Structure 1
Amino acid sequence: MIKSVIIINTSGKIRLLNCYENQIPLNIQQELVMKVYRAIAKRGDDLCNFVDGFTDWPTPDTRIIYRRYATLCFVFVVDSSESQLAILDLIQVFVETLDRTFENVCELDLIFHSDKVQHALMEMVMGGMVAETSRDEVIRSLAEMNKLGSGKAGSASPISSSGYHR
């Protein structure tokens, strides 16, 4: 199970935090993010992207899988039932999805368009379980949401003032 998805910058500022374990209060979640950040910040680029046996997390059997992209670090906190390589691939798909959505995603995109980032993540991970791994499917879903949000949905039929379809 995926316990948490975190995006942090190189300064340790949280850009996204989704915790799928409900029993962890928000203030504890923020402390945990700082512990995760300290665990991965001191690791060099020559080390692998896996931290096994992360004992600072309140629930046992915790692993950290992360990937750095420029000034951002994408972190998935998981248990041992998840494949580390599959999660690395999921991180790659998530970043590629964001990159296509924002045309070269940067930290400001995550700040000013957090709703789109959250929606992309929700398309991929639901309740701590991987729901979708196809970048194209996630991008298609995001495009449909954008159409609905802007009122350009082609399938909606006009409704007259009386409430009946024309």
Structure 2
Amino acid sequence: MGTKMVYKHLATLYFVFVFDSSENELAMLDLVQVFVETLDRCFKNVCELDIVFNFNKLHTILDEMISGDRLEKQSSSTSFIPKSITERFTR
């Protein structure tokens, strides 16, 4: 088994996800979209500086979205934005 990569270019940022070849590429693209929407809510329109200076927060957000190599909640991108994440980082 090999690895696959998907990327998405949004505004001035590129988001790249590398994953096992057994995973669905479209599901990973959806995960990228959900991740970016969550970052937008947490940082009020995410930019390069948010990523550089808040790298630990990005890891925490992604860790809450993926737990034990599985997505915590598989649903449309608009319904999956945990309040615990946004409340913690928007203060």
Q: TM-score by structure 2 length?
A: 0.78
Q: Residue in 2 aligned with 1:71? A: 12
Structure number with bigger Rg: 1
Establish whether residue 132 from structure 1 lines up as the match of residue 73 from structure 2: yes
2-structure distance, mates of 1:64, 1:97: 21
1-structure distance, mates of 2:80, 2:31: 13
Q: Residue in 2 aligned with 1:112? A: 53
1-structure distance, mates of 2:37, 2:52: 18
Does the Cα contact within 8 Å between 1:123 and 1:138 map onto a contact in 2? no
Q: Paired residue for 1:141, among 54, 64, 84? A: 84
Query: What SS class does the counterpart of residue 82 from structure 1 fall into?
Result: coil
Report the alpha carbon displacement of residue 123 of structure 1 after superposing the two structures with TM: 1.0
Does the Cα contact within 8 Å between 1:124 and 1:133 map onto a contact in 2? no
Query: What SS class does the counterpart of residue 66 from structure 1 fall into?
Result: strand
AA matched with 1:63: K
Establish whether residue 97 from structure 1 lines up as the match of residue 38 from structure 2: yes
Q: Residue in 1 aligned with 2:22? A: 81
AA matched with 1:70: A
Q: TM-score by structure 1 length?
A: 0.46
2-structure distance, mates of 1:111, 1:118: 12
CA deviations over 1:79-124 (Å, ceiling 9, x no partner): 2221111110110000000011111100101112222211111111
Structure with more relative contact order (C-alpha pairs < 8 Å, separation 6 or more) = 2
The change in CA–CA distance for 1:64 and 1:106 in structure 2 (over 3 A counts) is same
AA matched with 1:122: D
Give 5+ residue unaligned stretches, structure 1: 1-59, 151-166
Structure 1 moving runs of 4+ over 4 Å: 133-137
Give 5+ residue unaligned stretches, structure 2: none
AA matched with 1:128: D
Identity of aligned residues (%): 48
RMSD of aligned alpha carbons: 2.4
